[in-house]
Chains A and B, each alone.
Chain A
């Protein structure tokens, strides 16, 4: 009956939400339990953070560019094209770069976490960890959470810088705006809080990517097909959480501190 499947879906949703929340708490608490595996953390900082820079660069430069292009022509209709720099700066730092960087990490990193941990589950490597007296959450999840709590805000700041640079390039080279006008408008309207509020969101998005990827990896069942299913689910769930929570973050965080 449709009612039954709706009930089952609701139950699964509540259960998965609870499990993800609990895993986040367990992984976070283990940050304060010594010893912290610095070797694993630095490996994830490099593999998941530094190696994500090229894709964040491309995403940011083109987002900044296209936003400038579209904003310029839209504002031109109102005779307000001089405000292009203001609009681009605030939109990028507050909203677009944190969310798009979060989605990029969901696609690249959440998928790799769920596939790697899922493969370890189906080949009994996670059970083996347990039999060596090693807590799989502390060994597998905590280093990933720490790495993304550090790298997600740094990648967002990197994306902010590259996005604005891309916007300025298009402003100057494509729509032939005065470079000083773009910059002066940008700095006049951009507040430090715009950047900070984007970074606050990115910390949450980084945590989401790490925990959701690890959760679906640890829950993997049924061999290669199970690993594929876990990977797809992790990417979809992490992306949905990022998009939905972004709205609530935008409601909760004040627009300006002035």
Chain B
């Protein structure tokens, strides 16, 4: 075992213990200091990156390369801040409208193609598949798709075959949620393992 002499490793590990003190003990000043250090450093970093972006993508090409067309986004960006001046606050709606319009326009047509049409095509499996396993997979996928769609069929009375399919759809969704929860647990364990690796490896030198 060889304890690290790097001050940043110490700060990092102290902050880990600070964050652990909430679930293992209770809310306390040590936890709140560590939490605020994290939030503050994240905010500071984001501001630094944002300023760098404004200079890199806006001011520098505008002033050094005379890209006059960049004046439009710069002015639209500045208009966002008019909301702090009640008399001209309405001006801030223009850039917001522009951003929403471009964002929605850019996304809608692409979503239809990629997430509806292409996914629907992929769902149309040919039977039988080359192997038994693939055929079973395809069948489970197809039955899952149809039964879950039936579950959300609200315009038909839920009785007879529709009710059976709907019930199956509910079970399929429960299995899916279980898989999702399992992955959440696994992911959170990985985060915890990262912290343990820092403590035992980087800090204490035991690994």
Asked if chains A and B come from one complex, the reply is no
